[in-house]
Amino acid sequence: MSIHGHDVLNMMIESGEQYTEQSLVQAIHTRFGESARFHTCSAQEMTAAELVAFLAARGKFIPVAEGFSTHESKICRH
């Protein structure tokens, strides 16, 4: 089963936490399992680390003092 990247962004918003790439990968593993695979509108079969890099490269994260967060406006609606 593949989980959409939006579910990860929503998890980040719901938590209200700030993440580093490493802490976000760990949070994804905790929430969805280490063997989970992820997809987005334009990519498939990504690991948690690959998804984090993919989202970062597309400007989905907002830099903050201790890492980054995200916002609902960063989630595409198509």
The pLDDT tens digits of the residues spanning 2-22 come to 999 999 999 999 999 999 999
User: Measured between alpha carbons, how far is 41 from 20 in angstroms, rounded to an integer?
Assistant: 24
For residues 9 and 70, is the Cβ–Cβ distance under 8 A? yes
Q: What is the DSSP letter of 19?
A: B
The pLDDT tens digits of the residues spanning 47-58 come to 999 999 999 999
> Hey, is 45 helix, strand or coil?
coil
pLDDT of residue 41 exceeding 80, the answer is yes
Cα 15 to the center of its chain, rounded Å = 12
| CATH architecture of structural domain 2-71 | Orthogonal Bundle (1.10)
The model's confidence at residue 66, banded by pLDDT at 50, 70 and 90, is confident
User: How many residues are there in the chain?
Assistant: 78
- Average pLDDT, stretch 15-37? 96
Can you say whether the dihedral through the CA atoms of 25, 22, 39, 60 is positive or negative? positive
Q: What is the pTM of this model?
A: 0.86
